[in-house]
Structure 1
């Protein structure tokens, strides 16, 4: 039986001399460019078994090996690094000499691949659903499941808006290009044609959503995704023209639902509409991880009182009201990395509610999040049925 990641790490750490083992722990604690492990936790590590378990719990099975290799090479244990790379890291890209900055703290083998490999999209794929599983679920749950159109006759569309470069240069969302790349890849893997915009004002965002809602292809679709990534406030997304002197460049989240409701988007009537929003909703800023809120003192924005008859929506916000959403300046947000990783691995067997629950569970882990308190949350869910993506079918 093949060894687990933890067992490979145990073997490696057992090969270290006492002083090398100590230097490894010190280097792990001192990692500044990425998330490390707190000194208090490392002080409780007594042996190779403890250290291997802590590494896997912190960085996951996919991320622990590259972190270990990086540190081994940094402390001069090149022989052990090479052996670990050969035995356990052959499928996990490791930082090359071009000086990429990689964060393993939110813990996915996926993120390592995306951050370092130019052909990651050829190496990774969404796990495909089997026809047997689909038939079984449809037979068991029948009318409780949204009936999806056959692949050959449908035209699924997804909207992706990503604001990176703002008029206020201090608001540039470094790392957000990685989120865009990852999210676009995921949507295409799920068989959605991506309608993409970048660096929009609030007015342009509203126009983009309205134009998207009018697309004729929706009549031949069975669902849609709308993904918007920007700075934000509690109930609004900031346009790129937002500044302290121009605080009105905000796009209320409520308008997304209004544009896509039954009245304004009949093509998506009775079809699942998944809304993903990566933006702050208030709160304090972070340190190495930066937040997606405006850098100036928050300004109040009045809530909208529109009452819409909306159905078949589900949304996953990157954080709860009044809190921050964190983004690594090289590798993008916790939120997008976790969504891509969960859907890639589990969309073949779970419906969207369970997929979102698994994403939320990632944020509950103190080992993963460290001192950054962020919690993704479902919002305005009005799906009367289960929505299975059945990737590949």
Structure 2
């Protein structure tokens, strides 16, 4: 039975699962109505470290019985197949998405996105293998505890995901993160196995923001330690020192966030950086 599987796998799950995967599982189980809003917030806010979050998550779901446990196991298979296998969990019957149609990559990107490889007329090359290895990171903060709800952000997220998918990118997506969780998501993304073969990456962050920072969902004015993510950390995580797999590859960073003293949506900055 699924709840017994979780009980048996509990110790190793707590030790092995990463915080970004925990956040994704919380979102999945909330969408499935396994967890309610209060339970999700309690797991995230009352547990400072990933181990405690993992322990609270698996215990909460396991106590809800076989059906809830089955859903968590199936979501874990989608989110972290390697961990699912390591825990020796069974495979249920999750709905299988329709496989995408094969896309033929262009011979070049058509625009000069990155460093010129041979001479001033060169265009950054795209191969079939590199096209298939494209990967993008999409982070969208919509609901905040102390700031206004970002009306329409769900549609922005949906449209951006469709655009990136159309361009051939596998999209790693997160929604409603604390500042520290955004940093963790960038760290995990910098270790993505596809980066060594990709021809480019795209990182999109949409949220409220201040000058030079992105607001986490618990950002509050006048906090001594505000819940925020420094934008410069993107370059730290994806730079050649921290992520040699992306050396000399185009990186497109898109940030949609308000800045300055006003956190309303009227001051929106969309920043595109290629380096």
TM-score of the two chains, using structure 2 as the length reference: 0.53
Mark the runs of 5 or more structure 2 residues left unpaired by the alignment. Answer: 1-103, 111-115
Q: 1:133 and 1:275, CA in 2 relative to 1: closer, same or farther beyond 3 A? A: closer
Structure 1 position 239 matched with structure 2 position 216: yes
Mark the runs of 5 or more structure 1 residues left unpaired by the alignment. Answer: 1-127, 293-323, 326-374, 383-393
1:81-107 superposed Cα distances (whole Å, 9 cap, x missing partner): xxxxxxxxxxxxxxxxxxxxxxxxxxx
Structure 1 position 291 matched with structure 2 position 265: yes
Q: Is the 8 A contact 1:216 1:267 kept in 2?
A: no
Structure 1 position 257 matched with structure 2 position 231: no
Offset of residue 142 of structure 1: 6.9
Q: 1:197 and 1:144, CA in 2 relative to 1: closer, same or farther beyond 3 A? A: same
1:56-86 superposed Cα distances (whole Å, 9 cap, x missing partner): xxxxxxxxxxxxxxxxxxxxxxxxxxxxxxx
Structure 1 position 159 matched with structure 2 position 133: no
Q: 1:173 and 1:265, CA in 2 relative to 1: closer, same or farther beyond 3 A? A: same
Match of 1:149 among 127, 136, 142: 127
1:257-288 superposed Cα distances (whole Å, 9 cap, x missing partner): 00000011111111001000000122557xxx
The range that moved more, 176-185 or 239-248, is 239-248
Partner in structure 1 of residue 248 of structure 2: 270
Q: 1:282 and 1:220, CA in 2 relative to 1: closer, same or farther beyond 3 A? A: same
Partner in structure 1 of residue 257 of structure 2: 279
Q: How far, CA to CA, are the matches of 1:257 and 1:132 in structure 2?
A: 25
Q: Is the 8 A contact 1:224 1:272 kept in 2?
A: yes
Partner in structure 2 of residue 186 of structure 1: 163
Q: How far, CA to CA, are the matches of 1:259 and 1:283 in structure 2?
A: 27
Q: Is the 8 A contact 2:236 2:242 kept in 1?
A: yes
Structure 1 position 229 matched with structure 2 position 203: no
Q: How far, CA to CA, are the matches of 2:148 and 2:258 in structure 1?
A: 13
Q: How far, CA to CA, are the matches of 1:273 and 1:228 in structure 2?
A: 14
Q: 1:181 and 1:141, CA in 2 relative to 1: closer, same or farther beyond 3 A? A: farther
Secondary structure at the residue paired with 1:166? Answer: coil
Q: 1:208 and 1:148, CA in 2 relative to 1: closer, same or farther beyond 3 A? A: same
Offset of residue 175 of structure 1: 0.6
Aligned residues: 165
Offset of residue 133 of structure 1: 9.5
Match of 2:152 among 175, 180, 186: 175
Q: 1:131 and 1:218, CA in 2 relative to 1: closer, same or farther beyond 3 A? A: closer
Rg bigger for which structure?
1
